[in-house]
Amino acid sequence: MLRGNKKVQFRITLLLCLCLLLLCGGCADGWPQASNSPRPLVAASRTAHMLVADQYAYPNIPVYTDNEGLLWVPLEQAVRSMDMDLHAVNNKYTIGTTGPAYSVEVNNSGALIGDRPIELPQAPRILVNKPYMTTEALSALLGTSITWNEQNSRIVLSPITESVPPQQTPPVAAQGDDGGANQVRGLAMDPATKQQVVDYAKQFMGTRYEFAAEPYEESHAFDCSSFVQHVYERFGVDLPRSSRSQGEVGQNVSLNELQPGDLMFFYTPGRFESNRTVGHVGMYAGNGQIVQTFGEPGVTVSEFDEQWQERFLFAKRI
């Protein structure tokens, strides 16, 4: 009799456990949860093809639809499809080519385009241990249209459209100036001081390249824009962090007016609507040379040859 009671108790316990599992798991309807993300009421998963314009980039990627009908797409594939890199530190993600162009953070609707803050309509989330964004938020970040064809399971990203900055842009502030952004110590540098800037930059020859590098004191590495920023900081000039934002300060100069220390901006070949998007920055070193970093062997001096001339956009004097 006692043995029979134990069997009944075991069956009841088992049924209760099954009910609890159904109650806890059934309402999610297959939605993979991040520990800190809001829990949608209804969601569905499926696979889709990702295209840039009419070119296939990734087939059969996992996507999710939430209870509001928003489509969540994997950030890594979206970024790679635009020929950009994705760098992750904890829950923060930096996007770009030779330097950071966009920055987002999981469960934070605040983001950066270069150094300019924006508010995303939805914060990124971690789904199945990977970062995801809605097509609406990704469109706001990249500044391009993203369409979802549910019938054909196609996500189509339009190439990013951008133009070079205007001819005259706001100057950059010198550190310690009380007058704010309208006072520019850099523009007052004489040629001898500008040559000192270049000579200091060359002291870092061979320093390794790292995309989205942390400050040099921590990483002992540079990407293209952090290198320029670090060098000019030594001379009291506070430049923005990204090459895109650096291209928006200073005064435009033509190629035949270049002086040592002037910044030179280039596009990075990729899936952009036109080659007018700043993707790289270097420093004119004089004698037709550029001191810069973009990969192996790290900080180097390059000739301003045909390869770089074809990618050149504009130059700025800081």
- Average pLDDT, integer, range 268-284: 76
Structure confidence at residue 11 (pLDDT): 61
Mean of per-residue pLDDT scores for the chain: 83
> 160: closest CA among 109, 240, 246, 95?
95
Does 220 lie in the same domain as 149? no
Strand order through the sheet with 55-65: 125-127, 130-134, 71-74, 55-65, 44-52, 154-157, 146-149
* CATH number of the domain within which 128 lies: 3.30.457.10
181: pLDDT strictly greater than 50? no
135: pLDDT strictly greater than 80? yes
User: Is residue 22, in this structure, part of any structural domain at all?
Assistant: no
Confidence band, pLDDT 50/70/90 cuts, at residue 30: very low
- Average pLDDT, integer, range 82-87: 89
Q: Which two tokens stand for residue 35?
A: 């520990």
169: pLDDT strictly greater than 80? no
Yes or no: say if 318 and 240 are a contact pair by the CB < 8 Å rule. Answer: no
Yes or no: say if 267 and 278 are a contact pair by the CB < 8 Å rule. Answer: yes
User: Is residue 52, in this structure, part of any structural domain at all?
Assistant: yes
User: Is residue 17, in this structure, part of any structural domain at all?
Assistant: no
98: pLDDT strictly greater than 90? no
- Average pLDDT, integer, range 5-32: 51
Percent of residues, the chain, with pLDDT higher than 70: 76
User: Is residue 71, in this structure, part of any structural domain at all?
Assistant: yes
Yes or no: say if 60 and 49 are a contact pair by the CB < 8 Å rule. Answer: yes
pTM above 0.75, yes or no: no
H/E stretch holding 149 reads strand 146-149
Structure confidence at residue 83 (pLDDT): 86
Structure confidence at residue 252 (pLDDT): 95
Does 233 lie in the same domain as 132? no
pLDDT in tens, 42-79: 478 999 999 998 888 999 999 999 999 999 999 999 99
Q: Which domain holds residue 76?
A: 44-157
- Residues 6 or more apart from 248 whose CB is under 8 A from it? 114, 165, 169, 170, 240
Tell me how crowded residue 76 is: count the other CB atoms within 10 A of its CB: 18
> How many Cα atoms sit within 13 Å of 37 on the Cβ side?
25
Q: Which two tokens stand for residue 13?
A: 């316990």
Does 292 lie in the same domain as 206? yes
Does 293 lie in the same domain as 184? yes
Placement of tokens 């049924």 in the chain: 15
β-strands 154-157, 44-52 pairing: parallel
* CATH number of the domain within which 199 lies: 3.90.1720.10
Count of domains for the chain: 2
Does 184 lie in the same domain as 296? yes
Between the alpha carbon of residue 104 and those of residues 15, 29, 115, 277, the distances in Å are 45, 28, 12, 20
Q: Which of 51-60, 195-204, 217-226 has the lowest mean pLDDT?
A: 51-60
Q: Which residue has the higher pLDDT, 111 or 29?
A: 111
Does 116 lie in the same domain as 204? no
Confidence band, pLDDT 50/70/90 cuts, at residue 275: low
Structure confidence at residue 18 (pLDDT): 53
